[in-house]
Amino acid sequence: MDYIDEHDPSDSSDPSDAGKTLSSIGASKGGEARAKKLSAERRSEIARAAIEARWAKAGKHPLPRATHKGSFKEEFGTDVDCYVLNDEQKTAVISQTGMGQALGLSSRGNAFPRFLASKAMEGFIGAQLSNKIAQPLRFQWGSGGAQPSVVVHGFDATLLVDVCKAIVAAEAEGKLNRQQTHVAKQAHVILGASAKAGIKGLVYALAGYDATKQEVIAAFKFYVQEEAREYEKEFPPQLYEEWYRLYDLPKPGRNRPWKFMHLTLGQVYKPLARSNGKILELTKAQRQNANARWKRLHQFLSEIGVKALRNHLGQLLGIARISKTKHQYERFVQQLFGVQYEMFNDEESQA
């Protein structure tokens, strides 16, 4: 939890505390005895009401309270806490730690503001955005009864989009170092997915379609995966470097040598089309796990094919690295990928 204030005054579940509060607002000397008969929830309500009354008298305003809490953990694999506040705008909030984790930063609470204050981001965080980052939202979460209320620090969820735009701008200017490139990738993914999900949600609202929670999550997950795929380099640059070395090829100023096209076809795509039946096995397993046996096998080949390609390229790179000459390299390739079987026979192609 981000910046939890363990001394939140709204946590008054102790009977003696409630009794003092009752006395302070005009109860009789038997306030403590009466408080012991009250439920923990009722004691907390009385204490909170008294505190808010004192705040109002002093010209202060009580902290907003979160009515709902969720996490990105189950759906996206990242432990990012999010909340909805009880203010007029029903503000959607992401915790300060969550903001950093969404960008691939450390799980430490100060990772997010520290990155934005770094030299790389200098000049890309405007005055308005800087002011918001310097003044995180403070709000309460918890029932105040069995679960004591705590004070959490976070930011309006829309601020993440503004931060991502600033990161992308810094990347475009070449200000990010090599260790920060993964942050830029995350920023691109978040921006793309948010824009697509946002316009889809707008059309839903205008058309009067009430999307369920599951539909909203599924749509955003799809857009995240779609955006992330754009930044995945399937062919590792190290493999190209090994091809240059083994085949003694000069590096052209633009594009790549024609030889690479022939190597790609002969050593990647043709062997990949035959896989000792492994792709077929994986495809069948995926269809089985998806509880969609009615679908044809080829409908599962897209994701399986990507995984098989990455595995194949990894093996090819390993062979290239241990080979001293192109002849030795091609011999290894032939030994590993040369004798194979067709992925589908006639019977399986109709499955």
List the domain boundaries for the chain.
15-57, 66-230, 237-349
Give the mean model confidence (pLDDT) for residues 73-84: 87
Q: What is the pLDDT of residues 238-258, one digit of tens each?
A: 898 999 999 999 888 767 788
Q: Which residue has the tokens 């946002």?
A: 198
Q: Which residue carries 């993964």 as its tokens?
A: 182
Query: What percent of the chain clears pLDDT 90, i.e. is strictly above it?
Result: 30
pLDDT given at position 261: 80
- The count of other CB atoms within 10 Å of the CB of residue 188 is 17
Task: Label residue 163 by pLDDT band (50, 70, 90).
Answer: very high
Query: Virtual CA dihedral for 280, 285, 286, 290, nearest 10 degrees?
Result: 140
Quote the pLDDT of residue 348.
Answer: 37
* 169 pLDDT more than 90: yes
Handedness of CA 225, 226, 230, 234 (dihedral sign): positive
Query: pLDDT tens digits, residue range 119-133?
Result: 999 999 988 899 999
Q: How far apart are the C-alpha atoms of 274 and 276, rounded to whole Å? A: 6
Q: Check residues 31 and 290 and name the one with the higher pLDDT.
A: 290
11: Cα within 13 Å, side-chain hemisphere: 14
Residue type, 242: E
Higher pLDDT, 1 or 237: 237
Over pLDDT 70: what percentage of the chain?
66
Cβ atoms of 260 and 246 closer than 8 Å: no
What's the gap between Cα 159 and its chain centre? 15
Alpha helices in the chain (DSSP H): 15-24, 31-37, 40-57, 73-76, 96-102, 111-116, 127-134, 158-172, 181-207, 213-230, 237-246, 258-264, 270-273, 278-289, 301-322, 326-337, 346-349
Average pLDDT, the chain: 76
- Phi first, then psi: give them for residue 140, nearest 5 degrees: -100, 145
For residues 166 and 129, the answer to whether their CB atoms sit within 8 Å is: yes
> What's the residue count for the chain?
351
Q: Would you say residue 36 has pLDDT above 80? A: no
What is the model's pLDDT at position 10?
Answer: 40
State mean pLDDT over 265-281: 70
- Tell me the range of 38-47, 162-171, 214-223 where mean pLDDT is highest: 162-171
Query: Is residue 9's pLDDT more than 60?
Result: no
Task: Provide mean pLDDT across the span 39-65.
Answer: 62
